[in-house]
Amino acid sequence: MNDDARPTGPSPDLAAVLARIERTNELLTRVLAEVATTPSTHAAFVDAGYVYAAAGRLVAGTEDRRAFELDAEGLIEAFIDKARTIFPDSRLLRVYWYDGARRRIHTMEQQRVAELPDVKVRLGNLNANNQQKGVDSLIRSDLESLARHRAISDAVLIGGDEDLVSAVEAAQGYGARVHLWGIEAVGGRNQAEPLLWEVDSQRTFDLEFCKPYVTRRAVVPPDHGDAAADGTGNGGTAPTRDEVRFVGARVAARWLGERGAPWVTELLPGHPYLPGAVDQELLTAAEALLHHSLRGHADLRRVLRDGFWEHVQAQC
């Protein structure tokens, strides 16, 4: 055959293969570009039993829930704020709050936590000895499922049970990073060593961090029982929503005058949340003006923040 008659281009089969390779490269490029612009997502998985026991022991010297009050809303806000600083380019999916209840029926306190934005309450059971049952399996199921479906890139686990090791391993197998947070132990450890070995990072919250959220309950004399009927130690009628909203705006106005607009405007990127320390300061200031505790009143605390933010945004 004359050399001039030979085909100079690729064979039909080879051309088809090259076309498929080029198409695959285009698809990969598009996928990588999409991944690069998709924000990462994190979620927090909180074993409430661990938090109550560890924080109660650290601050109040007891693990008996009846002996102290935990400001669960304030503590959850603090956890969210801490995660925001650690994962600045990530969005929060939600906080999962795992607790125990008899026949899995929410207590009043658990109902208030369930009403919080971005919080999902998941209940295990309580046995006759007030021991949680089924909570670890709920954490394992949620953590593994979210990681498997690529719903989260980072998981904050607040607990200490060794039974959670398998959940950590499974989540990591699906590409999620697991960060173990704990509360300082009075003596020794309150988190299982195998769990500490498996996670990607560790963080411990000390007495200074936990102290604002734990209050030892006062012993109420029998003839003053009605004063604590609402579980807060308050007597009399709770303030109205309008009163609380006004006080929130009043505190914002005072802080603007004392600290200046630049300090307050630094809070705006975090709206509707406030840093944990600032949120506690707002709560304390409002309670002093109202002469009434807002702890345990999740709805009024949200109204308080609304009043604060409304004034700040109007002025800044």
The pLDDT assigned to 291 comes to 78
- Separation CA 255–CA 273 (nearest Å): 17
The pLDDT assigned to 206 comes to 93
- Separation CA 156–CA 106 (nearest Å): 24
Per-residue pLDDT of the chain (316 residues; tens, 9 = 90+): 555 555 555 566 777 777 777 877 777 776 555 544 457 999 999 999 899 989 998 999 888 888 888 999 999 999 999 999 999 889 999 999 998 877 777 878 888 888 899 999 998 876 655 666 778 889 999 999 999 999 999 999 999 888 889 899 999 999 999 999 999 988 778 888 899 999 999 999 999 999 999 998 875 333 333 333 334 445 456 788 888 888 888 888 888 888 887 887 788 777 777 777 788 888 888 888 887 777 667 778 888 888 888 888 887 7
275-311 core/surface letters (b: 16 or more CB in 10 A; e: else)? bbebbbebbebbbebbebbbbbbbebbbbbbbbbbeb
The pLDDT assigned to 128 comes to 59
The pLDDT assigned to 233 comes to 44
Structure tokens at 148: 């498997």
Which among 65, 38, 44 has a CA at the least distance from the CA of 54?
A: 65
The pLDDT assigned to 111 comes to 87
The pLDDT assigned to 127 comes to 63
The residues near 309 (Cβ < 8 Å, ≥ 6 apart) are 248, 252, 271, 272
